[in-house]
Every structure is written in structure tokens, then in C-alpha cells.
Structure 1
Amino acid sequence: MVIELFSVESAKAILAIPIPYRLRQDQLIWVLDPKGIFLIKSVQNVSFKSPISANLQSSHWKKLWRSKLPKRLRIGVGALPTKVNLNRRFDHIDPTCIFCNNAEESPIHLFFGCPFTKALWASACWGLCIKTSSLVTDEDIIKLILIPPNSPLPSHDQWTISLNMALIIDEIWRTRNLV
């Protein structure tokens, strides 16, 4: 039956799986980590091997991992389950933004392009107005947070801008999931 349902290569791989003599409970493992544990950092390590992320400077990633910013910043490796990302994996997902219903819910649109989130940024972060045309990839969001635009704060307090931006992104994601 396996040979009838699968390609020759897949059938060989399936039939090579050893069948245990006694029942054991299934276990979830992350095969891209030697210990089988899923960590956001392991996703980042795998993403550096892809041609898409090869041009991202590692200093940005080092700064991100050292920071105390929320884990929502996995945006940069395309691991955030926005509707566009889910639609790539599952055909039946409607990719329309849950807030405005006018555009696809990509990370750039959701966090900076949607009228709802634009209003939030303008009111919460020194009147920040980001031109989404300057954000081409998801990694650009990470760069924006780690190296934020100039603000009226003194230079020794500039780190609070990155923290505030990360917290706003976290709140946008939380609100999106509640809606």
C-alpha cells in the first residue's frame, strides 16, 4: 500500500522506519537541532543557511539575542504565523488583514502598513510615521527596531525606543490574536 500511495523515494524512506516492539508515546522533536529542542535561535541559525537571509549582517542578530526584547521578534526569520505565512502552507487561509480587511496580512502590513497600526504608532511612539516602502523584507523590521529612527530622547536613553517598539509590536500581535 505504501508503494502504491507514495513516490519510490518516499516509500523507501517510510519503509525504512523501524517499528518498535513495544508501544511508546509519540514525542515532538525539532530535527534541525541536535538536542531535538525547538528554540527561536535554532530557527535563526537555520535561516542564515538560506540565501534569503545570507545578506543580513550577523551583528543585527547578535544585538537581538543579547537584548531583553520580546520573543515576537522572530518576525525577521519569517516564523511569525501571519495570514500570508499561513496561506503559503495551507491553501484555505484567507490572507486578508484582520484589522482593515483591505490588504494581505504580511508582517510589514500588519505592524506598519495597516491604518489601525499606523494610528497606534503615531499615538504611542513620539508620532512615529514609518513609510512601508522602506520596509522590503521582514528582516527590515528587525533592523528598524534595533536601529530606530532619530527621536527627541537623549542619546543615553535611545535603547528605550527599541524596547518600546518591540513592546508595541508585541501588543499589536496580541490584539490581532484577540480579534
Structure 2
Amino acid sequence: MSARLVVLASGVGTTLQAVLDACRDPSFGAEVVAVGTDRFGTGAQERAVAAGIPVFTVRLEDFPRRETFDEATAERIATCDPDLLVLAGYMKILGKQVIGRFRTVNTHPSLLPAFPGAHAIRDALAHGVKVSGVTVHWVDEGVDTGPILAQAAVDVEASDTEETLRSRIQAVERVLYVQTIGRIVRSEEGT
């Protein structure tokens, strides 16, 4: 039996696509049952629709308070009965209404605990680090503070811009994230 994944994404959906591609192989042990977004018109939505995956959108601006947004997001996720919530470039911080209800995994473009937050690549370059990378971690109520599941280093080149470093990190990130999700879902099959 495959684990049920709900993927939340905000952008073009390259990480989502890597997960969708992995799920095509039955030995991966998971299937994406829904994709959620926080805005309309994203590449992630287009990729999900092209793959025949149901899409839902819950927008923060449609709610009077952050708590009601988180409650609505949690309720929408719950209708999909996920075994694992996967954040794939989802650019909203989720509250306890979601995190306390669903086991959630995320990927972040730095070697946490260094450079948490939305500008990790820019921050790494500004600090002049020689090595950056990617971290896959469980999500808790902090910002990029959950227990680390996997990390991979990416060298920072002297000529790197934010865009070039992001591109190299994302290439490593997609592989590491898919491997980690696969390990999580397959280890649970045996329990």
C-alpha cells in the first residue's frame, strides 16, 4: 500500500515534479493524492493538473486572521487523509493547526541551522561562506528549526550569484528530498 502524500507548493513546482516523477515507480512507496497552493496561477498547479492530481488553493488574504487561514488549510489537507505532508517550495509558515495535526517534512536551501528563513541563499552569499547546501527536516512550529533528516553540501563558487547558487542547490535538493521522502514512507511500511 502506498503512502498518501499531500504536497504544498507556492512556485514553479520543480520540487513537486521531482516527487511526482518518483511516485511513478511503485517501489518508491508513495503517491501524491493532492497538491495545495497558497495562490492561483502557479507552475505547481499546472504540473499537478497535467499529472491528473487534484489541486486546492487556500489563500491567506481570504481570511481575517492567520489562525483561521491555518485552520482552513488544515481542514482542506485533512479531506485528503495524508500519511505525510510534503512542503515543496511552500512559502507560508504553517501554524500549530497544521503542524500539530500532520507529520510534515520540508526542504531548505542551506545547511541548517545556518541561514534559516526565506533568504537563505542571499544570506549565505552575504556572509561569504565557501559551502552551502540543502537540508531536509521535520517541520515544527519554528522557522526551519525542526529535527534534521538529511543534508548535502554544495560548494559556493567565487563567481556565484544568488541565481546560479540557487540553481545548483535546487538540483541537489530535488534528489535528496525524493530520497528522504522515500526512506520515510518505506520505513513506515515495515512498522
The structure with the greater share of residues assigned to helix is 1
TM-score, normalization: structure 1? 0.30
The structure with the greater share of residues assigned to strand is 2
